[in-house]
């Protein structure tokens, strides 16, 4: 079953269980589904639901169909693309219908988040025509997360800082709906299960850009 494989792969990556992944997805989906914004509700109406509320399986299936129409990808990247698409659907409440931000062109912003335990998945808009130095840009995003200085999103640290960061990055807000991410950036711990976080233990993390390890 496709959905089960997705839960298992995400659980393996973030050192949790498939059941916890599905539970967190359902919580996020419910929050987005309850958003009263007409634009958000219009997006949900595009889905075919068996019950009163969308399930993770229904959101995943919708995301797969939408992604297949937009992007041609290699088999080994399917899970990553589907996971990103699911995150975008879950984050619909913070993306669709949001008024234009007042921050300057060239200033990155986080417009959607999804977390499993303390592993953060971020949807980032670069607000620029191109990203010339991808490594420098990724490190800029990490610093902005540490400073909690993104315009549209403020992070709660009640449970501590992120134990990993997984960022899907788009040039402009309009590119999100088209599914055309320009790059990915990840900060992964060198050892899992040690409760390291990206703020207090930066030396315990490795940067990956577009899936490739960046040499320090």
Q: What is the pLDDT of residues 127-175, one digit of tens each?
A: 999 999 999 999 999 999 999 999 888 887 777 899 999 999 999 988 8
Q: Give the separation between CA 107 and CA 128, rounded to whole angstroms.
A: 8
- Alpha-helix residue ranges (DSSP H) falling in the chain: 2-13, 18-33, 38-45, 56-70, 78-90, 92-95, 134-147, 174-178
- Closest of 62, 47, 53, 60 to residue 33, by C-alpha: 53
d(CA 155, CA 151): 11
Question: Do both 90 and 106 map to the same domain?
Answer: no
Dmax of the chain from CA atoms?
Answer: 50
Q: Rg (Cα) of the chain, in Å, rounded?
A: 17
Same domain, 116 and 206: yes
Asked if 7 and 67 sit in the same domain, the reply is yes
Q: Report the number of distinct structural domains present in the chain.
A: 2
Question: Does 60 share its domain with 123?
Answer: no
Tell me the average pLDDT of the chain. Answer: 79
Is residue 206 located within the same domain as residue 109? yes
Q: For 145-159, what is the HEC assignment?
A: HHHCCCCCCCCCCCC
Same domain? 151 vs 130: yes
Tell whether 88 and 108 lie within a shared domain: no
Domain boundary among 34, 62, 94: 94
Same domain, 117 and 62: no
Q: What is this structure's pTM?
A: 0.56
Quote the distance between the C-alpha of residue 59 and its chain's center: 15
The reply to whether 207 and 117 lie within a common domain is yes
pLDDT given at position 74: 44
Domain range enclosing 115? 102-213
Residues 111, 39 within the same domain: no
């Amino acid at each position: 079953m496709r959905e089960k494989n997705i839960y298992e792969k995400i659980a393996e990556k973030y050192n949790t269980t498939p059941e916890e992944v599905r539970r967190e997805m359902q919580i996020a989906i419910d929050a987005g589904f309850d958003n009263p914004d007409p634009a958000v509700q219009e997006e949900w109406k595009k889905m075919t639901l068996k019950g009163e509320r969308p399930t993770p399986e229904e959101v995943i299936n919708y995301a797969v169909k939408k992604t297949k129409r937009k992007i041609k990808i290699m088999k080994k990247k399917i899970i990553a693309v589907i996971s990103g698409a699911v995150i975008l659907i879950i984050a619909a409440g913070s993306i669709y219908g949001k008024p234009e931000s007042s921050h300057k062109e060239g200033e990155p912003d986080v417009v959607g988040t999804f977390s499993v335990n303390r592993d953060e998945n971020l949807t980032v808009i670069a607000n620029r025509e191109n990203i010339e130095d991808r490594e420098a840009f990724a490190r800029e995003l990490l610093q902005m997360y540490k400073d909690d200085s993104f315009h549209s999103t403020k992070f709660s640290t009640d449970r501590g800082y992120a134990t990993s960061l997984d960022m899907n990055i788009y040039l402009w807000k309009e590119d999100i709906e088209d599914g055309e991410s320009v790059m990915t950036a990840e900060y992964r711990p060198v050892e899992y299960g040690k409760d390291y976080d990206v703020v207090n233990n930066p030396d315990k993390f490795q940067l990956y850009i577009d899936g490739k390890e960046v040499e320090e």
